[in-house]
Structure 1
């Protein structure tokens, strides 16, 4: 579980530092758009008060529901990883998911919405959506938890085969 905690902490800090730098230091919240390496990487300010791509966005009640759901998922993942510890790669994946989810929870608490700013396009396709480091970590963590094998030790492996 130490791996999960360290990965979650580093992920959370990178997410929050990137948001603080881009939104407040670079003043993206005022400028709304900064072309970094067009079209591959642009900063586009988007306050997401819903779930992915702003779906189910709403008022203050939605904000608290989404905070509660995110914290519930974090608790579930932590309990699951503690109860049935997977291999090291899946522990990293769990840490990514937890750190990213907590980063977005802090945004909702501080701003009332998640600060999304990364926008990437390529090959003639214009992507209208923005995301953040926490979103990348949540996605990578969820995929990792699904695809990476768990660790089965002697007693547990024998019971599952029965």
Structure 2
């Protein structure tokens, strides 16, 4: 006896069951646009603020703002974000380039808003500092990154001097960690559900 078509909906081709309460993941193209939009905005902000910093802060004493909560001063940083790994500029250049390539590889598979924004911020930060390393003195792939924000004390006495790119890397990294802790993968899957299945 024919009882009509039988539903075989079992989720995606990985064999995980579909959660009817979970929202359908958005098409990856939209997430790619979101990633690139976040990256372009933060990269442009980083570039503009570095141009202003080098034009106005060169050779000047630290400028005290917000009652000493923020100091603006120009620092040429040969190290990584927040002045770490000083003296390894060439290696940091390769790492930053690798990060950019990895994010571009992931982009077509993105279906998560949180991951798209987080990766966009990290991409902007990596590109911002990579641009400095490639085009600033003392030479290609050895250029020093322009940092100009020191919090609570001048000269990075309380916290290393940083820039917009460093902030993008930090905020984007924190957002990605939060998404991972929530069990949300970049392609829209719930890793927590898979662990419990």
Give the ranges of 4+ consecutive aligned residues of structure 1 lying more than 3 Å apart after TM superposition: 156-162
Aligned to 1:108: 133
Which of these residues, 85, 105, 109, is aligned with residue 56 of structure 1?
85
Contact 2:53–2:74 (8 Å) recurs in 1: no
Q: How many residues align?
A: 151
**CA RMSD after TM alignment:** 2.5
CA distance in 1, matches of 2:46, 2:118: 16
- Partner of residue 80 from structure 1, selected from 106, 119, 128: 106
2:174 partner SS: helix
In 2, distance between residues paired with 1:159 and 1:147? 18
Q: 1:130 to 1:75 in 2, by over 3 A?
A: same
Query: Does 2:165 correspond to 1:134?
Result: yes
User: How many angstroms does 1:152 deviate by?
Assistant: 2.1
Aligned with 1:35: secondary structure? strand
Q: Which runs of 5+ in 1 are unaligned?
A: none
User: TM-score, normalised on structure 2?
Assistant: 0.67
1:46 maps to 2:75? yes
Task: Name the SS of the counterpart of 2:75 in structure 1.
Answer: strand
2:79 alignment partner, SS class: coil
SS at match of 2:149: strand
Higher relative contact order at CA 8 Å, sep ≥6: structure 1 or structure 2?
1
Question: Which runs of no fewer than 5 residues in structure 2 stay unpaired?
Answer: 1-31, 137-142
Maintained 8 Å contact 2:93/2:133:
yes
**3-state DSSP of counterpart to 2:68:** coil
Partner of 2:42: 11
Equivalent pair of 2:125/2:164 in contact (CA under 8 Å): yes
More helix by share: 1
Report deviation, 1:64: 2.4
